[in-house]
């Protein structure tokens, strides 16, 4: 647990760190430093490592499910051969087999949400900065935020920008002064739109469920690499809103259904307690400890080559937090409680191919015989 938390946070200590990894015996961490890096960087890393290790030392991760493939995991690929094209930092285009596999998992999890009587919602890519502030995002995950802005509505500013960039092939440093203060961001999670949608409303006592899918954006510095960790990625979610007992019952049912998905797709993985990647701050370890201790987050963790794990989805219980901040009530039950079941589609593609290979002929029947590969 400590190693996983350290990897999440260390990239935000400074821009000079490269290739952070743990030694094979897990007793030491190694990394490369840029020539112009802060000379005190090593001490900063040591302080982070000690803080995380000390904060989590007494915890044991709870495993709700361990798939049968975990006993004999197999990996048919070390990389995706074709169809994933890097177009920028944390940005990819998919075609061919990866694109069809993406479509398969999108359909699979849409059908998964069909086990409940859901309301289907289309959400925007942009989200109000005011809404993110209500969600406590700027305090918990400021490092992940992607701000959306535009040039100031001033003819002199706009003309100056146009003239300076007539023959440039990239933006200049001065343009930062041309931007208006952002009032919107790119959405880091589609479920936030759902809570906002029901603001100041009263839900029926039996609660509601929503299925939603959209683009999400989280900047993760040097942690961004391939499909495992993107700046621009796709989430499909099932969001449960209602009373405490009701939403927790639906989470338990979803976890049971996810066990079937892992077995049917012959994937080596676990459903286990986890925490969000809180920013490096004085209370970050305390927040992590609370999440792990209280079982509020269960992640779907699949194995990758070399012993690495990849969280491809999660089952998150938020208590009545969003009900209180958005003033959403439930008939006869007070403030709304919520559960979000989320699937990162690009991550499912990556983990599946690593375990089952690039050739559909080698895949489990559930995928090999699917319409996307007919």
All structural domains of the chain, each given as residue ranges with its CATH number in brackets, are 1-58 (no CATH), 61-125+188-373 (3.30.930.10)
Of 348, 357, 338, 345, give the one whose Cα is nearest residue 297. Answer: 338
Contact, 242 vs 322, CB < 8 A? no
Contacts by residues 37-43 (CB-CB < 8 Å, ≥ 24 positions apart):
38/14, 41/13, 41/14, 41/16, 41/17
| pTM for the structure as a whole | 0.88
Q: What is the pLDDT along the chain (374 residues), one digit of tens a residue?
A: 777 778 777 777 777 777 788 887 778 888 888 877 777 778 888 888 888 877 777 677 899 999 999 999 999 998 898 999 999 999 999 999 999 999 999 999 999 999 999 999 999 999 999 999 999 999 888 989 999 999 999 999 999 999 999 999 999 999 999 999 999 999 999 999 999 999 999 999 999 999 999 999 999 887 788 999 999 999 999 999 999 999 999 999 999 999 999 999 999 999 999 887 655 566 666 676 667 667 899 999 999 998 889 999 999 999 999 999 999 999 999 999 999 999 999 999 999 999 999 999 999 999 999 999 98
Angle, CA of 186, 191 and 194, to the nearest 5°:
105
Residues 6+ apart with CB under 8 A from 296: 290, 316, 317, 318, 319
Torsion on CA atoms 132, 137, 142, 143, rounded to nearest 10 = -100
Tokens of 329: 């009530």
Rg (alpha carbons) of the chain, rounded to whole number: 22
- The one-character DSSP state at 16 is T
Contact, 22 vs 2, CB < 8 A? no
């Amino acid at each position: 647990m400590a190693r996983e938390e350290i990897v999440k946070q260390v990239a935000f200590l400074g821009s000079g760190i490269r290739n952070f990894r743990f030694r094979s015996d897990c007793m030491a961490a190694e990394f490369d430093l840029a020539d112009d890096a802060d000379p005190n960087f090593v001490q900063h890393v040591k302080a982070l490592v000690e803080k995380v290790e000390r904060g989590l030392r007494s915890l044991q991760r709870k495993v709700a499910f361990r798939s049968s493939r975990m006993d004999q995991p197999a990996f048919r690929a070390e990389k995706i051969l074709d169809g994933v094209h890097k177009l920028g930092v944390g940005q990819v285009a998919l075609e061919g087999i990866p694109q069809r596999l993406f479509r398969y998992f999108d359909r699979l999890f849409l059908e998964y949400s069909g086990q409940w009587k859901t309301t289907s919602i289309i959400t925007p890519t942009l989200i109000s900065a005011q809404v993110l502030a209500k969600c406590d995002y700027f305090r918990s995950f400021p490092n992940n935020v992607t701000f959306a802005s535009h040039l100031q509505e001033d003819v002199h500013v706009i003309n100056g920008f146009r003239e300076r960039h007539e023959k440039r092939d990239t933006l200049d440093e001065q343009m930062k002064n041309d931007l208006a203060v952002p009032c919107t961001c790119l959405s880091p999670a589609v479920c936030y739109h759902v809570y906002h949608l029901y603001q100041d409303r009263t839900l029926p006592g039996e609660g509601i469920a929503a299925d939603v899918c959209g683009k999400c954006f989280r900047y993760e510095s040097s942690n961004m690499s391939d499909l495992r960790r993107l700046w621009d990625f796709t989430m499909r979610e099932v969001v449960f809103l209602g009373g405490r007992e009701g939403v927790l019952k639906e989470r338990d049912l979803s976890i049971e259904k996810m066990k079937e998905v892992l077995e049917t797709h012959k994937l080596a993985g676990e459903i286990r307690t986890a925490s969000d990647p809180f920013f490096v701050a004085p209370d970050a370890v305390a927040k992590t400890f609370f999440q792990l201790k209280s079982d509020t987050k269960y992640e779907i963790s699949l194995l990758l080559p070399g012993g690495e794990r990849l969280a491809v989805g999660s089952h998150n219980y938020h208590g009545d937090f969003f009900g209180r901040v958005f003033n959403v009530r439930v008939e006869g039950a007070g403030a709304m409680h919520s559960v979000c079941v989320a699937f990162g589609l690009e991550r499912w593609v990556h983990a599946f191919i690593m375990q089952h290979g690039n050739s559909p002929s080698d895949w489990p029947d559930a995928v090999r015989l699917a319409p996307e590969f007919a």
